[in-house]
């Protein structure tokens, strides 16, 4: 019996115990072992200009662009599930981004499709080697509008949560800057009758794929690097 285990020994010990648990054996993992062997390190940085966007649609939902870096602390880590939440929205879902189309993703954010990691999370994200790094952006849509108390330039705390193949929870938070687009004024419609004044006409809705003017004015982001060595292409 050894009085103390090294970090690598604890990692191997934890891995064996977790596999036995997954096979249905009644194994109890000591708390000091489970806490000391982190499987993943998540880095976020305010300088990466992550944002939450109000597109200027009355009653419209918020859109999120979050940049982060994942570093595997152990080999053979799989992330089958994830969650993105804020204090006011707990149902934020990733947008469908086709990597084969090298156009900007929602010209509001000025991101190229190749910078976005959304498609990597459609299947379990895998890290084959310890120290392997995956870095990029997640682009998502919420289920609720951004509350009005969050003014232009305010900070929204976004919670990133991942679960590994053993059900262990790994979390971090990112500070997102609020950006609000001004709603476009509705063009006046000609009167069609005495009881149908122009001011009663419905305002046109702004589509998610915005017009070319917004795309041209969107700030260009730095290309995020990824270390995909050993990963299978989607």
* Lowest pLDDT segment from 64-78, 103-117, 208-222: 208-222
pLDDT tens digits for range 17-64? 777 877 888 877 665 555 445 788 899 988 899 999 999 888 889 999
Which position has the higher pLDDT, 66 or 199?
66
Mean predicted lDDT score pLDDT of the chain: 76
Q: Are 53 and 201 in contact (CB under 8 A)?
A: no
Would you list the domain boundaries of the chain?
7-37, 39-182+202-217
Percent of the chain's residues with pLDDT above 90 = 38
pLDDT tens digits for range 185-212? 655 555 555 555 444 444 333 344 443 3
pLDDT tens digits for range 150-187? 999 999 999 999 998 888 888 899 999 999 998 766 55
CB-count exposure of residue 169 (10 Å: 0-12, 13-18, 19+): exposed
């Amino acid at each position: 019996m050894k009085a103390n285990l090294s970090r690598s020994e604890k990692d191997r010990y934890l891995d064996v115990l977790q596999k036995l648990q997954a096979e249905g054996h009644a194994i109890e993992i000591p708390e000091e072992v489970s806490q000391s062997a982190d499987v993943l390190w998540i880095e976020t940085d305010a300088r990466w200009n992550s944002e939450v966007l109000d597109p200027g649609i009355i009653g419209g939902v918020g859109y999120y662009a979050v940049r982060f870096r994942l570093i595997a602390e152990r080999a053979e880590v799989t992330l089958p599930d994830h969650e993105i939440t804020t204090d006011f929205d707990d149902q934020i879902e990733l947008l469908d981004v086709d990597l084969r189309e090298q156009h900007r993703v929602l010209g509001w954010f000025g991101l190229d499709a190749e910078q976005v990691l959304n498609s990597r999370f459609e299947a379990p994200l895998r890290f084959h080697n310890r120290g392997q790094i995956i870095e990029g952006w997640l682009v998502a849509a919420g289920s609720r509008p951004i509350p009005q108390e969050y003014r232009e330039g305010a900070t929204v705390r976004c919670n990133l949560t991942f679960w590994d193949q053993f059900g262990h929870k790994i979390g971090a938070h990112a500070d997102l800057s609020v950006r609000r687009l001004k709603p476009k004024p509705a063009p006046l419609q000609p009167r069609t009758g005495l009881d149908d004044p122009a001011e009663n006409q419905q305002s046109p809705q702004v589509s998610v794929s915005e017009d070319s003017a917004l795309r041209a004015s969107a700030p260009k982001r730095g290309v995020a690097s990824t270390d995909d060595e050993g990963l299978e292409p989607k």
